[in-house]
């Protein structure tokens, strides 16, 4: 009497069928893989390694700031623009259009923060870069001296209340100015050309400096800014 509920012939038949299915799946695997949905705004790769900005900005901070915060802004934006006219625009144009239509809405916040962060990451470089002469002349002409410019940029970054950004911008008439914005706000919605930004959201520095924002800002300005990129942004 068979008390197992399955005889030898049934077991061998079932085993053979299972093996055939497994082999078939292994053969068909690549062909049946689901392709990732294309994104309207793929997040650009970080232009250096996570640890490249050390000791000023730690690899741990970069991994959270870029790998979590920046990535989340892009992910939220890409989900929200599906089926809208914004998914066909450039990111900068999408930011401007959304601001006109919705003001400082959740969609604007994610679009603007995606743009702001990419602009920020591109303006940093390991060890900094020497300042080209044309930028030096422009800053000296606008602020009187490089020291005065650096003091103004530092003050804007340190005194920005709560989360936000400090900027060097070029106005439509060509004048250079220091500006600061709260939260996700960005100068591009006001017709200005951003040249440089310092991120003063707490996630940009708190793991390394806690509440010492001024120390972080000073070290970033002195050691991590890519002045060649800043100069290339001049009109």
pLDDT digit string (tens) for 169-206?
A: 999 999 999 999 999 999 999 999 999 999 999 999 99
Q: What is the pLDDT of residues 4-25, one digit of tens each?
A: 444 444 434 434 444 433 333 3
How many Cα atoms occupy the beta-carbon half-sphere of 151 within 13 Å? 7
Q: In sequence order, what are the residues at sequence separation of 6 or more whose Cβ sits closer than 8 angstroms to the Cβ of residue 77?
A: 40, 41, 107, 110, 111, 114
**Numbered residues of the known binding site for Mn(2+):** 65, 117, 199, 203
pTM: 0.84
Q: What H or E segment, with its residue span, contains residue 140?
A: helix 133-143
Beta strands 193-199; 176-182: pairing state: unpaired
pLDDT for residue 36? 61
Q: What are phi and psi of 193, to 5 degrees?
A: -100, 110
Mean pLDDT value across residues 64-87: 97
Rounded Cα distance, 135 and 170, in Å: 12
pLDDT of 29 higher than 80: no
Report the binding-site residues.
65, 117, 199, 203
Domains and CATH numbers, the chain: 59-122 (1.10.287.990), 133-232 (3.55.40.20)
Mean pLDDT of 78-84: 96
- Indicate if the pLDDT at residue 32 is higher than 60: no
């Amino acid at each position: 009497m068979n008390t197992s509920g399955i005889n030898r012939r049934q077991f061998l038949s079932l085993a053979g069928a299972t093996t055939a299915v497994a082999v078939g799946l292994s053969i068909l695997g690549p062909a049946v893989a689901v392709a990732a949905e294309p994104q309207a705004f793929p997040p650009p790769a970080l232009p250096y390694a996570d640890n490249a900005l050390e000791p000023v900005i730690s690899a741990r901070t970069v991994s959270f700031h870029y790998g979590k915060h920046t990535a989340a802004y892009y992910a939220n934006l890409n989900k929200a623009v599906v089926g809208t006219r914004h998914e066909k625009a450039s990111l900068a144009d999408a930011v401007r259009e959304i601001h006109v239509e919705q003001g400082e809405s959740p969609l604007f916040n994610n679009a603007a923060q995606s743009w702001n962060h990419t602009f920020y990451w591109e303006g940093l470089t390991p060890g900094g870069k020497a300042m080209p002469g044309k930028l030096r002349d422009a800053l000296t002409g606008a602020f009187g001296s490089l020291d005065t410019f650096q003091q103004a940029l530092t003050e804007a970054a340190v005194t920005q209340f709560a989360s936000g950004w400090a900027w060097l911008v070029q106005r439509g008439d060509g004048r250079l100015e220091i500006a600061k914005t709260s939260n996700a706000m960005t100068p591009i919605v006001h017709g200005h050309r951003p040249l440089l930004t310092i991120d003063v959201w707490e996630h940009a520095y708190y793991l390394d400096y806690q509440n010492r924002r001024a120390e972080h800002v000073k070290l970033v300005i002195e050691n991590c800014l890519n002045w060649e990129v800043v100069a290339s942004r001049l009109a």
